[in-house]
Structure 1
Amino acid sequence: MGGTLRVAVLGAPGVGKTAIIRQFLYGDFPERHRPTAARRLYRPAVLLNGVVYDLSISDGGPGPAPAPAAVPATAPAAAAASAASSSSASASSAAASAATSAASSAGDGGLQELPDLKDWSLQDMDAFVLVYDICNPDSFDYVKVLRQQIAANRPAGAPEAPIIVVGNKRDQQRQRFSPRRALAVLVKKSWKCGYMECSAKYNWHVVLLFKELLSSVLARGCKHSHPAIRLQGALHPNRCSLM
């Protein structure tokens, strides 16, 4: 066994966090949106270059984490992302101020108050997926503040955890609020994070998202340093995602 890799999937309400996770684990898409009232944990396993890793996926939502959700009989392949920056203690108050501002201005966009990451035990996460809706600029601002909070709450001396910013609902490309290239440049150059877009509805780039995220975790040595990752044959069809 290669240990456990912990991933947090965060974002504003309704951007498709749960839909992305369900496509990855179950290969299905919930046509009807049901708000995630409390944080959920999913615990599939992945086979990476002959080594089995337990994957702990935290689905965003305020409140304490409950017992892990069951993973069904077959789960598709996946894994990866880019870098996040660490911050000093002074950045903590700035991020908190920005969070309050974003939360108060989010009302018009239907977004809820930002969660307090200090109560989430997210400081020891190995990677983060920050999801926004490419048709909703408020959801992008929400992700911006989340990234600041993650940096501000990272313990001093802790290794950087890769962050990938994901624009979901690519199937609604014509309604997007900003060109993909402009957002990608901002996220990669200014935020120092990875960037990609996907469609949870049509399962487009969902597997690639997790592949990129987890390969980045392993390559950066946040948990376990490991060389090239590749798709492999079945290990155990009951609960393994195959890499």
Structure 2
Amino acid sequence: MSLKPEARVRLVFLGAAGVGKTALIRRFLHDAFEARHRRTVEELHVLELDLEPPGPALRLRLELLDTSGSYSFPAMRRLCIQHGDVFALVYSPHEPGSFEELQRLRDEILEAKPGAPVRLVVVANKSDLGPAAGNSDRLAAATVQREWGARHVEASAKQGCNVVGLFQELLGQVDVLSGRLSPALRRRSIPDPLAKEPTASTRRRPSKSPNCAIC
């Protein structure tokens, strides 16, 4: 019996508190959403995916690192950056100052990885809230694409909109994985530790995915 070669990729989620880093990860792993904000210090989630042809068969160990949005842990954040492979810089156009925080975090990534290729995707979460006042979302997207030379993605953890697409963008930053991820990502299934066993009164039929222009 031949064993598949293995690869490890660590995705690091960075951004201000309350922009939805944890919510995006939970929506991706468990297809669930919790409206209540829970403060995160640092959480590592691991998912194993089998990638089949086209391309060589490969077992992917996907590590998702959810970081704190607080300024209280600079040494921990720097260590997270040093060991990260691809970065999701998350903000919300409806959270004042959250994009400016990404500019500072990007500078921190460049400082921590001098001379190394920096793989990052900027995520505008909470697209379900509609356009932000003053076209701040368009201005942010233009800055990311033209000045940073990076990808800018809109998503909604609440509605589950474009979340798989976000992870395809993130893993597409790794050459060996580019274009091979859609079936494996959609087959993922992990029990949600926060989910409660449904009772007769709360059990519902599966609902259709919400309509969304960017899904």
Fold match (TM-score > 0.5): yes
Aligned partner (choices 3, 8, 22) of residue 18 of structure 1: 22
| 2:142 paired with 1:185 | yes
Name the TM-score, length of structure 2 as normaliser. Answer: 0.75
1:108 corresponds to which residue? none
C-alpha distance in structure 2 between counterparts of 1:129 and 1:237, whole Å? 20
Unaligned runs of 5+ in 2: 191-215
Q: What's the offset of the Cα at 1:174? A: 4.3
Aligned partner (choices 208, 212, 217) of residue 169 of structure 2: 212
1:33 corresponds to which residue? 37
Map 1:37-52 → 2, pairs under 5 A = 38-49=41-52, 50-52=57-59
1:232 corresponds to which residue? 183
C-alpha distance in structure 2 between counterparts of 1:211 and 1:205, whole Å? 10
C-alpha distance in structure 1 between counterparts of 2:181 and 2:71, whole Å? 40
What's the C-alpha RMSD, in Å, of the aligned pairs? 2.6
Q: Residues 137 and 177 of structure 1 are in contact (CA less than 8 Å); yes or no, is this contact kept in structure 2? A: no
| 2:120 paired with 1:163 | yes
C-alpha distance in structure 2 between counterparts of 1:160 and 1:215, whole Å? 14
Deviations 1:15-48 (A, max 9, x none): 0000000000000000211111x10000012233
Q: Residues 7 and 61 of structure 2 are in contact (CA less than 8 Å); yes or no, is this contact kept in structure 1? A: yes
Q: What's the offset of the Cα at 1:119? A: 4.3
1:131 corresponds to which residue? 90
| 2:13 paired with 1:6 | no
C-alpha distance in structure 2 between counterparts of 1:147 and 1:123, whole Å? 13
Residue identity opposite 1:188 in structure 2? Q
| 2:61 paired with 1:54 | yes
Greater relative contact order structure (CA < 8 Å, 6+ sep): 1
Q: Residues 188 and 194 of structure 1 are in contact (CA less than 8 Å); yes or no, is this contact kept in structure 2? A: yes
2:110 corresponds to which residue? 151
Residue identity opposite 2:183 in structure 1? Q
The change in CA–CA distance for 1:201 and 1:121 in structure 2 (over 3 A counts) is closer
C-alpha distance in structure 2 between counterparts of 1:175 and 1:152, whole Å? 31
The change in CA–CA distance for 1:171 and 1:228 in structure 2 (over 3 A counts) is closer
Q: Residues 125 and 161 of structure 1 are in contact (CA less than 8 Å); yes or no, is this contact kept in structure 2? A: no
Deviations 1:81-109 (A, max 9, x none): xxxxxxxxxxxxxxxxxxxxxxxxxxxxx
Provide the secondary structure at the position in 2 that maps to 1:53.
Answer: strand
Q: Residues 134 and 177 of structure 1 are in contact (CA less than 8 Å); yes or no, is this contact kept in structure 2? A: no
Name the TM-score, length of structure 1 as normaliser. Answer: 0.67
C-alpha distance in structure 1 between counterparts of 2:188 and 2:141, whole Å? 36
Deviations 1:48-73 (A, max 9, x none): 344220011110127xxxxxxxxxxx
Provide the secondary structure at the position in 1 that maps to 2:141.
Answer: helix
Residue identity opposite 1:201 in structure 2? K
C-alpha distance in structure 2 between counterparts of 1:227 and 1:191, whole Å? 21
Aligned partner (choices 200, 204, 223) of residue 157 of structure 2: 200
C-alpha distance in structure 2 between counterparts of 1:174 and 1:238, whole Å? 32
Q: Residues 49 and 188 of structure 2 are in contact (CA less than 8 Å); yes or no, is this contact kept in structure 1? A: no
Unaligned runs of 5+ in 1: 63-111, 220-224
The change in CA–CA distance for 1:210 and 1:180 in structure 2 (over 3 A counts) is same
How many residues end up aligned between the 2 structures? 182
Deviation >6 Å, runs of 4+: none
The change in CA–CA distance for 1:175 and 1:188 in structure 2 (over 3 A counts) is closer
Q: What's the offset of the Cα at 1:113? A: 2.5
